[in-house]
Structure 1
Amino acid sequence: MSDLKRGLSEAVAAAFAAAGLPAELGRVTPSDRPDLADFQCNGALAAAKTARRDPREIAAGVTATLAADPRLSVVEIAGLGFINMRVSDTALSERANEIAADPRLGAAVVETTRRILVDYAGPNVAKPMHVGHLRSSIIGEAIKRIYRFRGDIVVGDAHFGDWGYQMGLLIGAVMDENPFVKALMDQLNSRAAPITSEEEKTAFAALQDRVSLDDLDRLYPEAAAKGKAEIEYRERARRLTAELQSKTPGYHLLWRHFARVTKVALERDFHSLGVDFDLWKGESDVDDLIAPMVKDLDDKGLLVDDQGARIIRVARQGDKRDLPPLLVVSSEGSAMYGTTDLATVLDREKSFDPDHVLYVVDQRQADHFEVVFRAAYLAGYAPEGSLEHIGFGTMNGIDGKPFKTREGGVLKLNDLIEMTRTKARERLREADLGAELDPDAFDDTAHKVAVAALKFADLQNFRGTSYVFDLDRFSSFEGKTGPYLLYQAVRVKSLLRKAQGEGVKPGPITVADPAERDLVLLLDAFDQALTDAYEKRAPHFVAEHAFKLAQAFSRFYAACPILSAEPTLRSSRLALADTTLRQLEQALDLLGITAPARM
């Protein structure tokens, strides 16, 4: 089953080929003037340049061939040689019924299934998530869902930052502040025998009462600043990092405590956003691979000694910008951020064998990933071109600067989620929505509205651009917002419940009214939106489709009476409404948004 644009493109391409012209000139696109046509082809103008013929003459030959196509009610030439096409009501009706009967609602699957790994979120152990993690979580989740819906085998990996220099900083800072922790570390580190499970349990219980995530969040900025300012402090943090990576008993147990208290907050925040992962791996999971990997890199002649450190030079002749080498082993002997990223590439090749890995990470990390990818290709750890950085811009406040608290600090993600929930409750009450819901159902609806506001505010933009997050605007039930889409979905659900109560059932769809035509053309465009989102790794194509579909339904609802229409028309329009709801909810689900049953 093919959408109208693809089917017409094949027909127009054949018409160009029959005229002795390149078939690729027959590319069909939605019309720039929907008041004049549904689709258009501009190939005659391009053909005229190479064939040195009048474009209208070329267009006339193509339209003569297309005139016999039963899907088209009008084929005409406009301007210098544009070919305008209007689809017949019969063809639109057939297409609408195909979509209605299709479990995938008109969406095709990929011809060749691939194994895809999506690396997104990237939170750090010992630090609560902040708004800087929002975009990677939202965009990565949408990309994972879109790729999976298109038929690929997809795995999502959270990939925690849990094994680097920041851990050494925190271990030192916690011991400096808490003499009990320092004494416990000294005791555990001096043991000759391994720590027993009972001793572990006792130590974890003691740490639970003395070191919280709030403590870690407070201590880290202080320790990071001190590490930059004081050489001795920085050197101690590096030594502690190396000892942690050598699994010194006390430091390793303290690090595991950091991971435990962090995971509670991470699971809460990710669950609130409707984000889930197949893998919850971190940098520490590849620690055992690093030593043999370093030896392998050395054996391959890729490692270069540089001031006590060991590096891989990745610069290529013709580079337009200077790329630094990959620092594999520091002068203190510890693995670095790039080292664990390189080992992660190797681990994924061995454990999952992906055809492609997508790293959904801030655009500012582009050079880092280019360095890691080049090193991976040089080492033969991944096929050339199989690693791709999916960068994105920043989420800014209404002042145009990266989103912060009123005090100027970084806003915690949980605080943003709760702030948006509060605003959603206000908006529902202002709009007199949800008044008949019990308190639990009202809160559930408010949460869905909040998530829709957060996610759609982000996903309606091309991921590479920065955007301004305006909570008042994005939480509105009017305009291009997530709550508006939910309202339209709930409106259809209410209509369907009322129809069911009256014993009215959907029937075959017959298209006649202009508003019906517009709605079916939007339903038909779903597959193209998915294709664009898939090929360009850009969920905003699906977000844009969802918004246009909701708008088209609103116009249809206003122009075409449904339950008051005569029986055949009533069943047809009810089926069209039902199909619209199913496709809209499918598009929303791909964005990680769920519509409530009622408002």
Structure 2
Amino acid sequence: MEKMMDLLAQELSAAFEKAGYDSSYGRVTVSNRPDLCEYQCNGAMAGAKAYHKAPIVIAQDVVEKLSDSQVFSMAEAVKPGFINLKIKETFLSGYLQKMHTAQLLGAEKTQNPKTIIIDYGGPNVAKPLHVGHLRSAIIGESIKRMGRFLGHEMIGDVHLGDWGLQMGLIITELKHRQPELVYFDESYEGEYPKEAPFTIGELEEIYPAASAKSKGDESFREEALEATHLLQQGRPGYMALWNHIMRVSVTDLKKNYEKLNVTFDLWKKESDAQPYIPAMVEEMREKGYAYMDQGALVVDVKEETDTKEVPPCMILKSDGASLYTTTDLATIVEREKLFHPDEILYVVDKRQEMHFVQVFRCAKKTGLLPQETKLSFLGFGTMNGKDGKPFKTREGGVMRLEHLIEDINEEMFHKIVENRSVKDKDARQTAQIVGLSAIKYGDLSNQATKDYIFDIDRFTSFEGNTGPYILYTIVRIKSILNRYEQENKDTENGEILEAANESEKVLMLALTGFPAVVEGAFEEKAPHKVCSYIYELANAFNRFYHETKILSEEDERQKASWIQVLLLTRKVLETSIDLLGFSAPERM
């Protein structure tokens, strides 16, 4: 189904051509003066120089050709050369009728589906998720959902950090605490226990304790480095411990991501890339890309057009150890081998931009994947507290993600109980649904690349540009539809009639924007555009609701038409919030 703006542009382009002008001037935009018109065309201004005519003359010529238009009810030329437009009500209602039954509410399935891998996790195992992991998960999940909606094969990868020094620190600390465990007996040849010698709570205490100890005790740090090396060499006891750490950690990570309604198709780890490193490094050497510099193996990635210094990409340290750069490059090799993606998108803190500039250039320069494969970096800003500094606990520490979720849910529970709109037994579950909307919408309504203030009071409000406000609007629509059905009315019957009043037309016009918004938001990797759209749509609906007595309307045909508009509005809002990664309750 063609987008509304395209249909309007076709009508204007045809009018320009009939009037003797180039059809390319028929571009249409939403009016910035809604008090005067709904759409406008500035093509006459652009064409004045080419045709040596006053813009108003060109505009008048074009408007004359629109006199019998089936699309516009008004087309007028306004000095110095604007064309002001209003859409015909019959055309608008017909478009919404088609949109109502269209598979994707008028959005188009892509003609060229791509395989896109999104790297949007990045947590380290043995450590709890904290607020720093929030943005990657929320933004990445939304982009994945939009891509799938439009027909692309989207593959989400959590990309766990599981192979670095933190593993050696945990193993060494555990060895100091429980040296009698069989994992530390080099002569042991039996089967290792199936149960881990620690819980997730103990594991989350062991790592920070070991990390702190390593900073003040050099011998402990050396021991941890050796344990890391032995693990990476495959010592059986350490591998068994590593497997325990992975099972316990991943189970806990999945539980916490589930609370965010975030899922991954792949639970790949840094260690999965290790087998690809030796051959990758050897090939870089053989082809002359990699060379030794102060003992380290590096690849030059600077370009003549660089306006700032781009350091060489370090492949191996002077002691032969690999780095994040090495692992990320080897992961690209693995992804190319397993999936042949058209694009790999990294949703990562924007402060890592230089790292990914080096990785991307190195991957392309050394031929790790085809030149046409796109490598994309979506760097997100910082989530800050009201003081403008990175969000912390009251004690000044990094807040665990599950504690943030609990705080939001508790705030929503109190507000829902105060409203007395939901029975006590349902209030907790409703609070979780609405709380998730507060967190996700609060984040996604901001442009991803910008820092933003995480304000619990504002984000949990039922008024203003918030997730709960959007959900409240959906619940209001559901309530009207339920009451209509209780009158033994069939919501399936009815056609969308011409707008009965101005507020209905504003709502109908807002509905037509959905296809373009979704396609544009995915193309630009910009979920905030979906948020802006549904906030505008919710406002349009609520204005219509307050100005129109829907259920008390005596004209049954008119009432049935309004019900169809409500059904479409609900469908658009619910589809949109699903793309953002949350849902609406039945009541709130």
Aligned position for 1:180: 179
- Counterparts of 1:140-539 in structure 2, within 5 Å, are 140-176=140-176, 178-180=177-179, 184-187=182-185, 189-191=186-188, 196=190, 198-201=191-194, 204-205=195-196, 207-208=197-198, 212-219=202-209, 221-223=211-213, 225-226=215-216, 230=218, 236-384=223-371, 386-434=374-422, 437=423, 439=425, 441-506=426-491, 507-510=494-497, 511-539=499-527
Contact 2:175 2:184 in 1 (8 A): no
- Separation in structure 1 between the aligned mates of residue 246 and residue 108 of structure 2, nearest angstrom: 42
Q: CA deviation at 1:312?
A: 1.6
Q: 2:12: which partner in 1?
A: 12
Q: Secondary structure at the match of 2:280?
A: helix
Give how far 1:86 is off: 0.3
Q: CA deviation at 1:219?
A: 2.3
Unaligned 5+ segments in structure 2 are: none
**TM-fit CA distance, 1:23:** 3.7
Change (3 A) 1:433 1:499: same
**Residue in 2 aligned with 1:41?**
41
What's the TM-score once normalised by structure 2's chain length? 0.95
For residues 379-408 of structure 1, the C-alpha deviation after alignment (integer angstroms, 9 at most, x for no partner) is: 212233611001110111001111000111
Contact kept, 8 Å, 1:403 with 1:411, in 2: the verdict is yes
Counterpart of 2:456 in structure 1: which amino acid? L
**One-letter code of the match for 2:209?**
L
Q: Is the 8 A contact 2:170 2:207 kept in 1?
A: no
**Partner SS state of residue 86, structure 2:** strand
Paired amino acid for 2:569: T
CA contact (8 A) 1:505 1:574 kept: no
Q: Which residue of 2 aligns with 1:574?
A: 563
RMSD: 2.0
Q: Is 1:85 the counterpart of 2:75 in the alignment?
A: no
- For the 8 Å contact 1:326–1:375, the answer to whether it is kept is yes
Shift of 1:350: 1.1
Structure 1 gap ranges (5+): none
The amino acid that maps onto 1:170 is: I
Matched, 1:130 2:119: no
Give a deviation string over 1:423-457, Cα, whole Å, max 9, x none.
Answer: 110111222321xx351x32211100100000000
Q: 1:575 to 1:190 in 2, by over 3 A?
A: same
Matches of 1:18 and 1:338, distance apart in 2: 59
Shift of 1:212: 2.1
Alpha-carbon distance in structure 1 between the residues aligned to 2:295 and 2:183: 30
1:5–1:39 Cα contact (<8 Å) kept: no
- Structure 1 stretch 489-498 or stretch 139-148: which is displaced more? 489-498
Shift of residue 252 of structure 1?
2.1
**Cα distance, 1:225 vs. partner?**
4.0
Letter in 2 for 1:508: E
Return the match for 2:582 from 583, 590, 593. 593
- Looking at structure 2, the residues matched to 269 and 389 of structure 1 have their Cα atoms a distance apart, in angstroms, of 25
Higher mean displacement: 165-174 or 402-411: 165-174
Kindly tell me: are residues 556 and 236 of structure 1, through their superposed partners in 2, closer, same or farther at Cα, counting changes over 3 Å? same
Does the residue aligned with 1:405 lie in a helix, a strand or coil?
coil
1:456·1:482 contact (CA, 8 Å) conserved in 2?
yes
Given that 2:445 and 2:531 are in contact with CA atoms closer than 8 Å, whether structure 1 keeps it comes out as yes
Contact 1:170 1:223 in 2 (8 A): no
Confirm or deny: 8 A CA contact 1:163 1:284 kept in the other structure: yes
Deviations 1:490-524 (A, max 9, x none): 11111111111101234101123111111111110
Letter of the structure 2 residue corresponding to residue 331 of structure 1: S
Structure 1 contact 164–337 (Cα < 8 Å) conserved: no
Whole-angstrom CA distance in 1 between matches of 2:468 and 2:31:
29
- Percent identity between the two aligned chains: 42
Call closer, same or farther: CA 1:65–1:269 in 2, change over 3 Å: same
Distance in 2, matches of 1:56 and 1:225, equals 75
* C-alpha spacing 1:302/1:569, structure 2 compared with 1 (3 Å): same
One-letter amino acid matched to 2:560: S
Single out whichever of 234-243 and 128-137 deviates more from structure 2.
234-243
Greater Cα offset, 39-48 or 142-151: 39-48
Report the residue type matching 1:535 in the other structure: E
The one-letter amino acid of 1:77's match is A
CA offsets 1:114-156 (integer angstroms, 9 cap, x no match): 1111110211111111000000000000000001101111111
* Matches of 1:104 and 1:276, distance apart in 2: 23
Q: Distance in 2 between matches of 1:147 and 1:43?
A: 33
**Matches of 1:458 and 1:49 in 2, distance apart?**
46
1:351 maps to amino acid: L
Q: What is the number of equivalent residue pairs in this alignment?
A: 583
Are 2:183 and 2:192, in contact at CA under 8 Å, matched by a contact in 1? no
Q: Residue 68 of structure 1: SS of its match in structure 2?
A: coil
Shift of 1:185: 4.4
Q: Secondary structure at the match of 1:135?
A: helix
Separation in 2 of the partners of 1:592 and 1:520?
Answer: 25
Q: SS of the counterpart of 1:572?
A: helix
Between the aligned partners of 1:236 and 1:328, the Cα distance in structure 2 is 25
Using structure 1 for the length normalisation, give the TM-score.
Answer: 0.93
Greater alpha carbon shift after TM alignment, 399-408 vs 545-554: 545-554
Provide closer, same or farther for how the CA distance between residues 480 and 211 of structure 1 changes in structure 2, counting only shifts above 3 A. Answer: closer
Cα deviations by residue, 1:5-32 (Å, 9 ceiling, x for unpaired): 1111122233344555554432211111
Give the 3-state SS of the residue equivalent to 1:75 in structure 2. Answer: strand
- CA distance in structure 2 between the partners assigned to 1:390 and 1:124 by the alignment: 20
Q: Deviations over 1:160-208 (max 9, x none)?
A: 11112333343334434x1427x64431x455x5xx4x3242xx44x22
From 583, 586, 593, give the equivalent of 2:572: 583
Moved more, 368-377 or 60-69: 60-69
SS of residue in 2 equivalent to 1:124: coil
Are 1:39 and 1:84, in contact at CA under 8 Å, matched by a contact in 2? yes
Contact kept, 8 Å, 1:394 with 1:402, in 2: the verdict is yes
Structure 2 residue matching 1:318: 3-state secondary structure: coil
Quick one: which amino acid aligns to residue 565 of structure 2? L
- What are the superposed Cα offsets for residues 327-376 of structure 1, whole Å, 9 maximum, x if unpaired? 22222322211111101111111111111111111111111111111111
Asked if the contact 1:89/1:512 (under 8 Å) is kept, the reply is: no
